Amino acid sequence: MTAALLTLADSRLPAGGHTHSGGVEQAIAAGVVHDPATLTAFLRRRLHTAGAVAAGLAAAATALSSSGRHRGQVPFPVALSPASCSSGESPAPASSELVAALLSLDAEADARTPSPALRAASRQQGRGLVRVGRRAWPSPVWDALPERPHSPLALGVAAAVAGLTPRDAAAAAAYLSVSGPATAAQRLLAMDPLAVAALTARLAPEIDEVATADGVPAAADPLLDLLAEVHAARKDRFFAS
Amino acid sequence: MRTLVEVVACRGPGGRTVLPVVRAGGQYAVRRTGPGTVHLVATAFGPLGGDDVTVRLVVEEGARLCVRSVAAAVALPSRGAARPSVQRIRATVAGELDLAPEPTVVAARARHVAELEAELGPDGVLTAAEQVLLGRRGEEPGRWTGTTRVVRAGRPLLHTTVDLGPGAPAWLPPVAPRAYASTVHTGSDERPVATGEDAVRLPLPGGWTATAWGTELHRVAGAVAGLTAPERETA
């Protein structure tokens, strides 16, 4: 663990995450979230679905972009993505191979994110992360990403170029999947910051569990898809997603 | 019990679909019930925990295959160790596949895993529907984990796992439905986003995926039908 990981998971990192509520704004509007108990339930379902997928994708992106240093640490499911991982033993993919591998991983992210609103939110945050990441950790590896990558891919590349491991990237992705919505709920419901900090802290064991799972899961929550699409159609929203 | 079902559909003389391979063993029999239509018939009670079913479907170019079942499947718990019952459907579709079995009911303490993996050719058309009810009337819900992966010409179009029932980490009140229905279509009919009460339709390349959830299966199935009916075009 290094300070680079703390930097990546810091809500002060100007990657644009603060403009997204991770579905919590619409969950509040729908009456699904209204107090600390219902917020905890919402954060847990988000952690185990969108958070788990983001963690897996981020770890895979880090493994791909780390010139083989961490290959094998996260067994990327070869069967899922023949184009990207048929050469799992290749130590340092050439740049064009990395471009293809990240593009293929981006397609896997799309397949796991059928909601257009959630895709847009992810790509918007991915672009924000690339912008700040390029300045913070300059590297040619950034050029291998698609123009508006899914957020976990940008996070994975940031972790790689910052010298972090796939597990670190997964930890940051899993943590961010709850910290952002928790802060948004605190603001929208004017909740006690101590209560929100405490319930987020109590999720730490589950966040760790999600961050250390193998592979790239496809866990979906149709409720989050519905909330995201209803939210995107609203004119009076406070958050972008 | 291990079960393997295999059906191959080809384009025959005059463009009619013929089924040169219709094979089953274990807990299913397969009946030809129409030109290009087969029904799966359960020959044993269950599935029980530990049962393993693989259904291999091949639909060649120009052929159309409909797969149905004659009755709801009731997944029951295994007596000893808590093993899930598993049903894997592997489809290779260059023609058109329409897959709509009767609902799966997952009894209390049972665990059922359903997987659909479809590889589509450039012109392949897939419609796959599933309906799930957790628990028979008056009993606790069982657990159902369903994964759908659809790939066209090497590119993944949809890959989702929905995990419902006690022990599923994201199956949490206030939204912990007992009934769930989902239909995915790709290949001929692209539709925009539509939302309803506990129901959502999302676009896919050349298609859509529609999902609904709630307490009663007939209402949930009705919600999916409302989002997928050809005449209703709401965005």
Q: How far apart are CA A127 and CA A148, in angstroms?
A: 5
A106 touches chain B (CB under 8 A): no
Closest by CA to B193, choosing from B202, B206, B184, B185, is B202
User: Does the structure's ipTM exceed the value 0.85?
Assistant: yes
- In order of A20, A182, A227, B200, B219, the CA distances from A191 in angstroms are 18, 10, 21, 30, 36
Show Cβ contacts of residue A134 under 8 Å, excluding neighbours closer than 6 positions.
Answer: A142
Q: Which tokens sit at A21?
A: 């509520």
Q: Per residue in B58-78, pLDDT tens? A: 999 999 999 999 999 999 998
Q: Do B170 and A221 touch (CB under 8 A)?
A: yes
> Which pLDDT belongs to residue B47?
94
| Residue boundaries of the structural domains of chain B | 2-228
Instruction: Say if residues A221 and B170 touch (Cβ distance below 8 Å).
Output: yes
Any idea which of A89-98, A119-128, A230-239, B11-20 has the lowest mean pLDDT? A89-98
pLDDT reading at B232 higher than 50: no
Mean pLDDT, residues B147-173 taken together:
97
Residues from chain B contacting residue A111 (CB–CB below 8 Å)? 149-150, 156-159
CB-closest option in A114, A117, A217 to B209:
A114
**Residue with structure tokens 């912990």?**
B176
Q: How far apart are CA B88 and CA B57, in angstroms?
A: 11
Q: Beta partners for B48?
A: B76
Probe site for chain A from B193, B204, B209, B211 (most A CB atoms < 10 A): B193
Provide the strand spans (E) within chain B. 2-11, 17-24, 28-34, 37-42, 52-59, 64-69, 73-75, 85-93, 96-99, 104-106, 111-120, 125-134, 143-152, 155-164, 179-186, 194-196, 199-204, 207-214
Q: Do A111 and B156 touch (CB under 8 A)?
A: yes
Residues from chain A contacting residue B154 (CB–CB below 8 Å)? 82-83
What chain A holds in terms of domains, given with CATH numbers, is 16-232 (1.10.4190)
Q: Do A229 and B202 touch (CB under 8 A)?
A: yes
Return the higher-pLDDT residue of A48 and B173. A48
Nearest-by-CA chain B residue for A225 = B200
Q: How is residue A212 annotated by DSSP?
A: T
Taking the mean position of all CA atoms in its chain, how far away is CA A182? 15
Q: How far apart are CA A41 and CA A47, in angstroms?
A: 10
Residues from chain A contacting residue B200 (CB–CB below 8 Å)? 115, 222, 225-226, 229
CA of A83, closest CA in chain B: separation in Å? Answer: 9
pLDDT reading at A121 higher than 80: yes
Instruction: Say if residues A83 and A108 touch (Cβ distance below 8 Å).
Output: no
Any idea which of A67-71, A128-132, A194-198, A231-235 has the lowest mean pLDDT? A67-71
Backbone angles phi, psi at B148, to 5 degrees: -120, 125
> Which pLDDT belongs to residue B143?
97
pLDDT reading at B101 higher than 70: yes
Burial class (CB in 10 A: 0-12, 13-18, 19+), A33: buried
Mean pLDDT, residues B111-130 taken together:
98
Residues from chain B contacting residue A203 (CB–CB below 8 Å)? none
| DSSP element (H, E) containing B140 | none
Q: How far apart are CA B223 and CA B210, in angstroms?
A: 9
Instruction: Say if residues B116 and B148 touch (Cβ distance below 8 Å).
Output: yes
Show Cβ contacts of residue A235 under 8 Å, excluding neighbours closer than 6 positions.
Answer: none
Q: Per residue in A6-57, pLDDT tens? A: 999 998 898 888 899 999 999 999 999 999 999 999 999 999 999 999 999 9
> Which pLDDT belongs to residue A77?
43
